[in-house]
Amino acid sequence: MNEKKSNKQYWLRLWEKQAGSDDIFEQLGRSSSSYSSYFLMINDICKSLEFERQDCVLDAGGGVGLTSICLAGFVKKITVFDFSDKIVGKAKELTKAFDNISVFKDDVLSMGNVSDEIYNKIIVGSILQYLDNYEQIKKCLSNFFSLMPINGKIFFSSNPDVRKKKAHIESYQHLGWDESKIEEALIIEEKRFWIDISTIEKIVSEVGFKSMRETQINPELWDSTHMMNFVVEK
């Protein structure tokens, strides 16, 4: 139990620190991103969820709200939440001109502040890696299941893929970084929860979803070297 609490606090401290940056991509945890690579990621989301004008969307772990802003003109309503006070404050400021975006503080294991709505499309932006175990992932999926109609879809983006972990860890030795920077990066890599897709498939079925499929990350994105996307449908 202590390890679980420590991991959550570790990630919270990291995100609170990144929220203080003036670089919007660092605030998103994507310090090496550009606008073109970010919109490639948005394109992956759109291809998987096929947004329509009447959609009510939940942007889970949506950070400062940039993804929600990109989609706001194409859907009916978006609710975005994050678990960092600083990030939620920035999201409220960034999205204040959009009357169809609502911002809350919440997390995927409770979701008490966003449970009054039904969402037919849900975006889960690379946050499963910050959970501690598959029991928490199952709780997360169960929470989403309760907020969705039949045929609702969830897109899980940029999840660390255990099949690619060894090669990814070894790749740090070829970046030309000094040892201290590599050590710092490897601490983060070991804190992440690396996901086995077959275990996720079992959990998805146990929760009651009717289908799941892995989807390709655009090969132009760095995430494609060590992560995976997948979509589930109720």
Q: What are the pLDDT tens digits along the chain (234 aa)?
A: 344 455 777 777 776 777 666 666 555 655 566 778 888 999 999 999 999 999 999 999 999 999 999 999 999 999 999 998 989 999 999 999 999 999 999 999 998 888 889 999 999 999 999 999 999 999 999 999 999 999 999 999 999 999 999 999 999 888 888 899 899 889 889 999 999 999 999 999 999 999 999 999 999 998 999 999 999 999
Tokens encoding 136: 């928490």
Q: What is the DSSP string of 95-136?
A: HTT-TTEEEEE--TTT--SSTTS--SEEEEES-GGGSSSHHH
Domains of the chain: 2-163+190-233 (3.40.50.150)
Distance between CA atoms of 18 and 25, rounded to whole angstroms?
A: 9
Instruction: Quickly tell me which residue has 């709200």 as its tokens.
Output: 65
* 3-state SS class at 203: helix
